Amino acid sequence: MGLAYEIFLLGRRSFLRWARVPGNWLGTLFFPFLQLFIFSQLFKDIIQLPGFEESSYLAYLAPGQIVFAVFLGVSWIGINLLMDYHSGYLDKLRVTPINRLSILFGEMVPLFFTCALMGGVILVTSLVLGARLVTGIPGAIGILVLSGLFAVAWAGTSFVPALLTKNEQAAGTLSLLFFPLAFMSTAFVPVERMPDWLQVVNDWNPISYVIEAERGLMSTGFDAGQVTRALIAIAILFVVTQAATIWAFRRLTTA
């Protein structure tokens, strides 16, 4: 209970610090909004090619843009921790009788809700533009939960560069190096329309598993296999990235 209370207090502070800056919401949602609106119109006839099961490209594109919103939402979390480090606030936390892990989890727990909320904004926008959600409210909840879980699992890609470099600019640049994985996923075209080498990449790309599970919930119905594969991919990603994050955090705080 003590750890949970510490995470709650630190998480509330982290969320309010981010949410009170309107530019954070605008900057995170602008790029996915832009892609959702422009690409759905620019490439709307691509849906006629073999491999597409959806009736509109908007419905195909929306789950991928939800994941893009998660990407951008995650990118700031490591920099927030660096700001606490440089301001001395992190040192103040370290001398208090709290669990060190609560400092990290205090950043990740609000990230779950923030990214789920941003995913909901993109989802509602796609519905307003004409997409359909065949699974209704349960499916929408499933999409938001998957988005939040993926955000927590992906958080290490922002934490590790920040903790190792101790530099905001370098951390932001290094976190962007992971964006090609998103563009190489099934966010824009099905795997059948990709070159052979990209198909191999997608066999190991956790982003594609999350997108396909959300796409199924949105367009085709509940598929336990797709959701299970997405959860397994998220779990593996979480173990790998958080192990690296804990190592980098201990390295920073014991230096």
* pLDDT the model gives residue 130: 85
Query: Which range of residues forms the domain containing residue 239?
Result: 2-253
Lowest average pLDDT, out of 24-38, 123-137, 176-190, 222-236, goes to 24-38
| pLDDT bucket at 255, cuts 50 / 70 / 90 | low
**CB-based contact 130:56 (threshold 8 Å):** yes
**CB-based contact 209:229 (threshold 8 Å):** yes
pTM: 0.87
70-125 pLDDT, tens digit per residue, is 887 787 788 888 888 888 888 888 788 877 778 888 888 888 888 888 888 888 88
Q: What is the mean pLDDT of residues 132-158?
A: 91
**CB-based contact 51:193 (threshold 8 Å):** yes
Question: Using CA atoms, how far apart are residues 66 and 44, in angstroms rounded to an integer?
Answer: 18
Supply the mean pLDDT for the chain.
Answer: 84
Domain total for the chain?
A: 1
